Amino acid sequence: MITRSRLASLLLGFAATLGLAAAASGQTPPNIIYIVADDLGYADTGYTGSKTIETPALDALAATGARLTDFYVQPMCTPTRAALMTGRYPLRYGLQTGVIPGAGLYGIPLDEQLLPQVLQEAGYQTAMVGKWHLGHGSADYWPMQRGFDSFYGALVGEIDHFTHSSHGVPDWYRGNEPATDEGYDNILFADEAVKVIEGHDPSKPLFLYLAFTAPHTPYQAPEDWLARYPGIEDPNAKAYAAMVSIVDDGVARVVKALEDKGMRDDTLILFHSDNGGVTNSLFAGDSKVEGGLPASNAPLRDGKGTLYEGGTKVAAIANWPGHVKAEPVDGLIHVVDMLPTLASLAGAKPAGKPLDGRNVWPTIAEGAASPRSEIVYNVDPLAGALRDGNWKLVWKAALPPKIELFDLLADPSETTDQSAQNPDVVKRLQARVTELATQMAPPLLILEAIRLTFYVPPVTGDPTILFGQGD
């Protein structure tokens, strides 16, 4: 027998599939606050098990919202942010390999429709605060030209948190113009997010994309925040903990601003990291890191830059009072799912290229079964990884090749390779990876490396735009 609540859930799912959830429910589309942390370890919040780092705001959102326990992203920064903005795997448009380097002239191709453009067309006010890293070599790739009504923050991947510069060159903008504000970047981001909320016109729904640069290297924090962790002796670990707490404080300030503005009950808040925490200095970024790497992805294997769970499975939360159940949600969700899901809530229909994302709103809101059984971790000329149900294939195709197969239900830490015992599963998943590879655009990073190696044209445009290669 179908209960009344279950019937309502099914009806909501059907309406959402048509991209008409908001209209069908008779509700005004929600405000959307989308918050992304930078290189946050899977286990580095209170609600995911940290015993040393204090994150009361995130813990409260997790306790009163959906804790998305099977939420996947790409292994590195640029690909994840591109997947979020397009609803399409980065392999479709050449952003599947690495991150956009400082000298890179490319970005998300201009023929890709982005999430803020979809929401803008649905009547949303759109604002971005924080880190972009989706194209800086030409202003055509910048946020204000890609669907945001306002932008405040940095265009590239890694900046000094106090000077807002990369290799000594400033990277700080308001709109399309350089800005010179002083202060710690992530505190300034929270300041700006609060101002956006306070100044919001309630006649329109708000989409605010708040992308912190913490706890990405360099490991830096103001002295008063470092002092909150007197028991941590290692300087990197102390700074990292302080940086996570600054992100959490920013979340708390955003929630309070929503409450003070009377917007909280009409607002969906989403939070996750762009990839797993750094466990290998190769992926730490431009900054020279002396000492240990403090991020923890326990109990997951490895971290940022890898195709293992520690690089691609992240802590994630969805919170909307009265609309999202307060419970763990273990259905598979990939960051590409966010565009079609949010478009559905907005009553919008994306008009761009075919999406890889699925509408997962019933999964998020009600804990319904996920519409997807497959997760594409990444596919590029060197490697590929795919999850189908509980089986996960990690295929290093570059010489010397290596194939691993894991049963994630029985072995979530990926400790036991089962490829030899399951050749049919390996063959099937390899065929799917190969299929995706045939659909792959050439990696723009590789094309850029060829350009920089063999042909470097004269620099044009603003001569102050000179960035490092942090991610």
CA atoms of 334 and 317, how far apart (whole Å):
13
Count of residues for the chain? 471
Which of 9, 77, 26 is closest to 272 using CA atoms?
A: 77
Residue 77 annotated as catalytic: yes
Q: What phi and psi, each to the nearest 5 degrees, are found at residue 125? A: -80, 130
Exposure on the CB side of residue 312, measured as CA atoms within 13 A: 27
Rounded CA-CA distance 429/395 in Å is 10
Cα separation, 78 vs 230, in Å, equals: 34
Specify whether 323 is catalytic.
no
The whole-angstrom separation of Cα 402 and Cα 230 is: 44
Closest CA to 238 of 260, 204, 215, 256: 215
Check if the beta carbon of residue 154 is closer than 8 Å to that of residue 136.
no
Residue of 80, 137, 93 whose CA lies nearest to 442: 93
Question: Residue 246 carries which side chain, given as an amino acid letter?
Answer: I
Which of 77, 161, 164, 323 is catalytic? The answer is: 77
Strand order in the sheet with 374-379: 374-379, 383-388, 391-396, 402-407
Question: Is residue 230 packed enough to be buried (19+ CB in 10 Å), middle (13-18) or exposed (0-12)?
Answer: exposed
The dihedral region occupied by 337, where left means phi > 0, alpha psi between -120 and 50, and beta the remainder, is: alpha
Active-site position among 133, 136, 323, 334: 133
Q: Which amino acid is at 398?
A: A
Contact 138, 153 (CB under 8 A): no
CA dist 69 and 390 (Å) reads: 14
Element (H, E) at 403: strand 402-407
Q: Are 38 and 77 in contact (CB under 8 A)?
A: yes
Q: Crossing angle for the helix pair 338-346 and 77-86, nearest 10 degrees?
A: 30
Judge whether 334 and 372 are in contact, CB under 8 Å: yes
The candidate with the shortest Cα–Cα distance to 36, out of 365, 445, 335, is 335
Catalytic residues: 77, 133
